[in-house]
Amino acid sequence: MAQYEKNSLSLAGAVALGTGVMVGAGIFALTGQVAQLAGAWFPLAFLLAAVVSGLSAHSYITVSRKYPSAGGIAMILSKAYGQTAVAAGAAMLMAFSMVINESLVARTFGTYTLQLFGVPPTSVWVPVLAVGVILVGFGINLAGNQAIGTVSKVGAVVKVGGVTLFAVATLWTAGVDYRAAGGPETSAGPGGLLAATALGILAYKGFTTITNSGDEVRDPHRNVGRAIVIALLVCVMLYLLVAFAVGSSLTIPEIVQARDYSLAEASRPAFGDAGVTFTVVVAIVATVTGLLASFFAVSRMLAMLTEMKLIPHRHFGMPGGIQQHTLVYTVVIAGTLAVLFDLSRIAAIGAIFYLVMDITVQWGVYRHLRQDVGARPTILIAAMLADAVALAAFLILRGQQDLVAVLGAIAAVAAIFAFESLYLRHRTETGEASTG
C-alpha cells in the first residue's frame, strides 16, 4: 500500500470516498433500524440527523481548511487538547467507530447477498460473507490510492444511480401513498425520534472520511470543505427519497420485520424477485465501496496516531510500513466484530462511540481553536447540544431494549480513556520522546 500521496485525490474522488462510506452504511444497514425507533417519522429522523451532522461538520471544515492533514480528526484533537489522554482517547473512539462501521457494512453485505438465495439473516453465512468482503476490501486497499479512487468513483456512480432508480421506481409503482403512517404500531414519541436521530447520524459520519484524507486531496484548503458539503447534500437527498419509497411500499411492522434488508423487501411488492435482485446488486456495490473508503481513512488515522506516539504499535514480524500494519489491525478487528455481533448491537455501539467523540471535538474547537480557525461559537454550541440530546435519548431508549449493549459501550468508552491515560503516563515516566 502506498504511503501518503499528496494531491492524489481529486474533489470528485474525495466526494466519492465520503458518499462511499455514507451510502454503504446509511441506506442499506440503518433504514430499518431507524424506522424501528422512530416509527412513521423515520424520514424526519434522517433529516434531523443531517442537520446535526451539518452543524458538526462546521468544526471539521474550519480546522481542516487551515490545517489539512492525512490524519484529520487526530490532528484536530491534538491541536485542541495537545498530546493528552483526552485527545488520544477521543481519536481512538473515532477509529473504533469507523472499524465498527466496517463490520456493520460487512454484515449488511452478507445479509443482502443471502436474499438472492432466500437464506434468512440469522444464517451462519452472514458472518462468513462479511469476513470475505472485508478481505476483498483489504486486498484492494493494498493496491494503493489510485485503485481505491477508481473503484470508489465507479462504485459511487453505480450505487447512487441504482439507489435513486430504486426509490423513483418504487414511488412510481406504489404511488405516493405513505403506508408507514397507517396503524397503531407506527406511533413513536419524541424520545423515539431523537434516539433514531442518534442512530441516523451514523448514516452521515462518512463525511469524516474526507477530513481524514486531508492533504491527500488536491487543493485541500478549499476542496476538503467543498467535498464534505457536497457529500452531505447528496446523501440527505438520497436518504429522504429512499425513506419515502420504503415507507410507501411497506408498513412499519413490515419494515421492522425486515429491518436488516428493508430496501430489498421494499422492492418486492412492486417488482418481485427482479426488484430484489436489482436492489441486492446495488447493495453489494455500495457495501464493497463503503468498506474501501473506510479502510482507506481509518488506516491512515491510526498511522498518524502511531507516529504521534498517542497509541502503542507492534510490528508482530509483519513487513512493510506503519500504514500497512494499521490496515491489518483494522481488518482483523472489523472481521472479529462482524462475527461476534449482529447489526443492531454494532450500530448501537458505533453511535455511542461516535457521539462521545464528536462532542469532545466540538468542545475542543470551541474552547481552544475557534479564534485560530475562524469557527463560529454559536454553531459549535448548537452542535454540542444536538449531539448531547440525541445521545441521551438513545442511551435511555436503547438501554430499555438492550441494557447489556449500552453498558458495554459505556464501559468500553471508559476503558479506552483509562488505557490512554496509563499509556501516556508510562511514556512520560520512562522519558520517551514525544513526536508530533
Select the more confidently predicted residue: 415 or 173.
Answer: 415
Q: Answer whether 289's CB lies under 8 Å from 159's CB.
A: yes
Query: Per-residue pLDDT averaged across 354-376, rounded?
Result: 95
Q: Which domain holds residue 95?
A: 11-430
- pLDDT at position 142 is 75
- pLDDT at position 145 is 59
- C-alpha cell belonging to residue 354: 461516535
Select the more confidently predicted residue: 410 or 304.
Answer: 410
Q: Domain of 90: which CATH number?
A: 1.20.1740.10
pLDDT over 50 (residue 2): no
Alpha carbon distance 241, 315 (integer Å): 46
Amino acid present at 400: Q
- pLDDT at position 354 is 95
pLDDT in tens, 379-392: 999 999 999 999 99
Alpha carbon distance 404, 383 (integer Å): 28
Alpha carbon distance 161, 182 (integer Å): 30
Residue 260, CB-side half-sphere exposure with 13 Å CA sphere: 24
**Does some domain include residue 3?**
no
Q: Which 8-state DSSP code applies to residue 218?
A: S
Q: Structural domain tally of the chain?
A: 1
Residue 391: CB partners within 8 Å, gap ≥ 6?
198, 351, 352, 355, 356, 359
Alpha carbon distance 196, 41 (integer Å): 9
3-state SS, residue 217: strand
**Does some domain include residue 311?**
yes
**Does some domain include residue 218?**
yes
- pLDDT at position 435 is 38
pLDDT over 70 (residue 160): yes
**Does some domain include residue 435?**
no
Q: SS3 for 3-57, per residue?
A: CCCCCCECHHHHHHHHHHHHHHHHCCCCHHHHHHHHHHHHHHHHHHHHHHHHHHH
**Does some domain include residue 247?**
yes
Q: What is the pTM of this model?
A: 0.88
**Does some domain include residue 189?**
yes
Mean pLDDT (the chain) is: 85
**Does some domain include residue 88?**
yes
**Does some domain include residue 38?**
yes
Residue 19: CB partners within 8 Å, gap ≥ 6?
156, 160, 206, 231, 234, 235
